[in-house]
Amino acid sequence: MTAEALPAPRAAARPLSRIFAGAAGPVAVVVLALLAVWYVAAVLANWSLVAEAFARGGIPATFGDVLAGTLGGERPVLPAPHQILAELWKTVVDTPVTSRRSLVLHGWVTLSSTLLGFAIGALTGIVLAVAIVHLRMLEKSLMPWIISSQTVPILAIAPIIIVVLGSIGIRGVLPKSIISAYLCFFPVTIGMVKGLTSPDVLQRDLMRTYSASVADTLWKLRLPASVPYLFASLKVAVAISLVGAIVAELPTGAQAGLGARLLAGSYYGQTIQIWAALFAAAILAAALVAVVGMVERLVLRAMGARR
Amino acid sequence: MTATLLLLAAVFAGAAAALGHVHRPGVAGEAGLAFWLATAGLWLLATVAVSRLARLEPRAPAARRVVDAAVPLAFGAFLFFLWEVIVVGAGVPAVLMPAPSAIAAKFVASLPTLGADFVQTFVKSVLSGYAIGCTAGFLTAIVADRVPFLKRGLLPLGNFVSALPVVGIAPIMVMWFGFDWPSKAAVVVVMTFFPMLVNTVAGLSAAGPLERDLMRSYAAGYWTTLLKLRLPAALPFVFNALKINSTLALIGAIVAEFFGTPVVGMGFRISIEVARLALDMVWAEIALAAIAGSLFYALVALAERGATFWHPSYRQ
Amino acid sequence: MRIEGSAGTGGMAATSNGVQVIDIAGLTLTFDTADGPVYALSNVDLTISEGEFVSFIGPSGCGKTTLLRVIADLERPTGGHIRVNGVSPEEARLRRDYGYVFQSPALYPWRTIEKNVMLPLEIFGLPKAERRERARTFLELVNLKGFERKFPWQLSGGMQQRASIARALSFDPRLLLMDEPFGALDEIVRDHLNEQLLRLWGKTGKTVLFVTHSIPEAVFLSTKIVVMSPRPGRIIDVIDCDLPRERTLDIRETPAFLAIAHRVRDGLRAGHSYED
């Protein structure tokens, strides 16, 4: 047997296989599979509860009745996806924004403190990074503390910050944003320090041959070079800023916000409400990351990045 | 060198004197202008001392290590000193901000409570959830890596979930698994699973093309290549996930306790003491969390150093 | 698997009765890219017999590395006939007929030098004592005695590449495939390694296929030089290099050496299209 004309295995050019060669096809299949598993799990998780309810009422129930019950209960152990979507639709579209039941209202409360916290945190992170890169003393003394500050469960401080600021008269959005800022300055600082020090020796030597000032080197070399690093860390930062805002609403019994919805739902056993708030938070997170990604693409293109 | 050390010693002596002075009955809460001016001067002196210390570049590697550790320690110690002096000297009410000495005293006085909370939150919820979540993420990554279709489908989802506020599932887990630690462990499992999945999958493709060709030229099978090449090459990524997860796990367990616990646990204690405005106890609990979190992280980092000594970031 | 055989004797029987080590006819390899097909190899014919040292030389993109990779079954041809030691490249690979030395050492950074050399032996399932013994022998052969316990990144580039040669020799393959192994090294180190390689070849009598783009290196090392040209990748000349087998670096100033070098350069020039 010779190895004559061994045909190289190549992806067939059929449209179906082309779809599945990318990421969209497999993701869709995995999502569909997850949905199917979810429905089965919902039926199994809610079955005994529904069957008991029928039995207690003395109503003879067929298999179909119970099955319908598992997917349409008011406080199921695990709500079916369509129930969550219905709840989302009801609280987002059908409820006026001014109502306390509107998820848009709660989402906005959380979003506003997320954005404020993100702005404060990102700015702090950038300023800290610029300072650290320029002052050797700060690099040696502050950097280890910044890093170890992240091994501390920062979220545990959330209640204190809210109580302390509340007792000196600062309430509302700001205390929550400070927790968000506390969480999201870290990746920005780390990313920016990396970015600001990313120009190599030759590039820095070039600035030296021009006898450029520290400020010139910062503006013309270090900052432009750090932009890709900045956006990579901003994407992480905006996501955890949202986490900070939600968690900040938990320990103080906030009246509005996605975190407050989670808390209220867990008090009253409103599982559908919890899941709807979770979905809303997920959508918000995805949207925020997507917006930062979009700005990144625009900025990088304006700066002449390839692709 | 000598001048810097003398300066440092002077700052320490000054700080000790200020600490002794500020706690005296006539001074605590009503420190005069002279005291604040002296403190500000000390601050200036400390900044000079620390920056001189940071500029020291001793030849001997041992001395260099000592300096590298001393700079952040001196800096941190001075921050704590300022905190103590300002809170005590200005008489800041304990409901707003207790002094470090008060927190330390509370910490020592409530060791049994803190111990019980530590066992409940850290030993039971965090460790079990961390172990299960990381192991499951690792094994799933290996399966996903074997099945390219699954990899292409799971990876974008894993990245997506990593950006989500996963702690939000805490109320659901509390409903499903009850008030005790299993529900917290479940939150930790979900939180640690995805970072491990995403990092391990990335790590498994970290081995270079030449290194893979080498294995192919030996006619090495899938498992041999996995064990001898791809897993060792993936270790830095796996440890990265282990480090990220060590922080996430503690956050997850504490936050999950905000949604309902038995009457023990670090998150429970924080929320109950905040409501009572007993801030010294809250800070003691936070100190405990900080110590536990740092030690946990340090332990993982130490293991990483041992296992990935060959990685460029550790080579000497 | 034939690593049980003692060094140098294994497999001689198969080739002494006329079977070529490499037998290639009409070999073609086309890559489909977004910009249309790329003809990496076009209609290549080549035979190589046991014990030869064959250099492949040509500009980038001439397919010399691709040809080596096809022989190693790291790349599949799209057409033509190829036999390695009388069997298909895949079979040759599966029975571990060749050792491959890459452009970079490709040593695993988490293994000591000794353990790197023992890597193929572990995979082939040799007993531990023999792995030790062979690693010792071949590290000595490439002058790396005393560096067994070092990690690759603690050694210079030249030493790393020598370790990777020891690794390729450690299981005593019939065939040594070397893909620009000294391309990343400076000229002084390179000269030194060339001399060492020549001595090694004299001692082991292996068939060596050696990709390079240095004319002096090719002439200095080879018994046969294959000159290749790009677009499409093809062989334009095969030059016999009949210098005496015992060579020192001084040979590079002799008229015989310069004459061969001249012929190689002419071949390269003829095959060079000035479009680019």
Asked if residue C181 and residue C86 are part of one domain, the reply reads yes
Query: A279-300: per-residue pLDDT in tens?
Result: 888 889 889 999 999 999 998 8
Give the strand pairing for C224-229 and C53-57.
parallel
What are the chain C neighbours of B219 within 8 Å (beta carbons)?
A: 93-96
Within this chain, do residues C225 and C147 fall inside the same structural domain, yes or no?
no
Contact yes or no for C147/C111 (Cβ under 8 A): no
CB atoms within 10 A of CB C109: 17
| φ/ψ (deg, to 5) at A7 | -70, 130
Task: Measure B236 CA to nearest chain C CA, in Å.
Answer: 11
CB contact (8 A) between residue A4 and residue C81: yes
CA distance A14 to A195: 44
Same domain, C89 and C180: yes
Comparing B60 with C166, the larger pLDDT belongs to C166
**C86, C34 Cβ separation under 8 angstroms:** no
Q: Is B71 on the interface with A (CB under 8 A)?
A: yes
Q: Who among C32, C77, C88 is closest to A1 (CB)? A: C88
> What per-residue confidence (pLDDT) applies to A20?
60
Of the candidate ranges A156-160, C8-12, C100-104, the one whose mean pLDDT is the lowest: C8-12
pLDDT of residue C17: 44
Using CA atoms, how far residue C179 sits from A169, A246, A299, C57, C99, in Å, is 73, 58, 42, 11, 11
Is the C-alpha dihedral spanning B222, B228, B229, B230 positive or negative?
positive
Contact C179, C101 (CB under 8 A): yes
User: H helices within chain A, ranges in order?
Assistant: 15-21, 24-56, 63-72, 81-89, 103-134, 136-141, 143-149, 158-167, 173-196, 201-209, 214-217, 223-248, 258-268, 271-302
**Token code pair at residue B88:** 């005590």
Work out how many CB contacts closer than 8 A connect A with B.
Answer: 166
| Chain C neighbors of B304, CB-CB under 8 A | none
C184 contact residues in B (CB cutoff 8 A):
none
With contact defined as beta carbons under 8 Å apart, do B49 and B6 qualify?
no
pLDDT tens per residue across span B197-227? 989 998 998 888 888 889 988 888 899 999 9
For the cut 70, the answer to whether the pLDDT of residue C8 exceeds it is: no
d(CA A212, CA A133): 17
Cβ neighbours of C96 in B, within 8 Å: 218-219
Q: In this predicted structure, what is the pLDDT of residue C16?
A: 42
Q: Where are the domains of chain A?
A: 18-78, 103-302
Which chains contact A through at least 3 pairs of Cβ atoms less than 8 Å apart? Answer: B, C
Of C100, C109, C153, the CB nearest to B214: C100
- Is residue A47 within 8 A of residue A66, CB to CB? The reply is yes
Structure confidence by residue, pLDDT tens digits, B174-194? 888 888 889 999 999 999 998
Query: In residues, how long is chain B?
Result: 316
State which fold the A103-302 domain adopts. MetI-like fold (1.10.3720)
Strand-pair partners of C53: C208
Summarised one tens digit per residue, pLDDT across range C235-273 is: 888 988 888 877 888 888 888 889 899 988 888 887 665
User: Taking residues C46-64, what's their average pLDDT?
Assistant: 89
Min distance A10 CA to chain C CA atoms (Å): 9
Same domain, C66 and C187: yes
Smallest Cβ distance to B251: which of A22, A153, A250? Answer: A153
**Same-domain pairing of C158 and C213:** no
Residues C182 and C88 in one domain: yes
**Is the residue at C2 inside a domain?**
no
Among all residues of chain B, which has the CA nearest to that of C101? B214
Strand partners, C31: C38
Domain residue limits at C136: 107-172
Q: What is the arithmetic mean of pLDDT over C80-103?
A: 89
Task: Yes or no: say if A43 and A78 are a contact pair by the CB < 8 Å rule.
Answer: no
Same domain, C164 and C181: no
Tokens read off for B22? 């500020």
How much is the pLDDT for A4?
38
**Parts of chain A with a pLDDT under 50:** 1-14, 307
Cα pseudo-dihedral B67, B70, B72, B75, rounded to 10: -120
User: Nearest CA to A297 among A250, A252, A236, A231?
Assistant: A231
Best CA proximity match to C30, nearest among C48, C12, C43, C11? C43
Residues of B in Cβ contact (< 8 Å) with C66: none
What does DSSP assign to residue A8?
A: P
Report pLDDT for C132. Answer: 92
Mutating which of C88, C91, C97 best tests the A interface, going by the most A Cβ atoms within 10 A?
C88
Q: From first to last of its 316 residues, what are the pLDDT tens digits of chain B? A: 788 888 888 888 888 888 888 777 777 777 778 888 888 888 888 888 888 887 777 778 888 888 878 888 888 888 888 888 888 888 888 777 888 888 999 999 999 999 999 999 899 999 999 999 999 999 999 998 888 888 888 888 887 787 777 888 888 888 888 888 899 999 999 999 988 998 999 899 888 888 888 998 888 889 999 999 999 999 999 998 998 898 888 888 888 888 778 888 888 888 888 878 888 888 898 889 888 888 898 899 899 888 888 887 776 5
Asked whether residue C199 falls in the same domain as residue C158, the answer is no
* Strand pairing category for C79-84 and C234-240: unpaired
Tokens of C1: 């698997």
Whether residue C140 is contained in a domain is answered as: yes
Å from A1 to nearest chain C CA? 8
Give a yes or no: residue C10 inside a domain.
no
Average the pLDDT over C201-230 and give the result.
90
Task: Let me know whether C167 and C190 are in one domain.
Answer: no
Domain B108-307 in CATH: superfamily?
MetI-like (1.10.3720.10)
C-alpha–C-alpha distance, residues C71 and A3, integer Å: 11
Asked if residue C233 and residue C182 are part of one domain, the reply reads yes
Residue C36 has pLDDT above 70, yes or no: yes
- Nearest-CA distance A250 → chain B (Å): 7
**C123 interaction partners in chain B (CB closer than 8 Å):** 215, 218, 220, 224, 228
Residue-level pLDDT at B116 = 92
Structure tokens at C143: 């002058």
> Within a domain: residue C14?
no
C251 and C226 part of one domain: yes
Residues of B with CB below 8 A from C94's CB?
Answer: 219
**Residue A16 pLDDT:** 55
- CB nearest A8 (choices: C78, C82, C83): C78
Q: Is residue C19 situated within a structural domain?
A: no
Q: Is C102 on the interface with B (CB under 8 A)?
A: yes
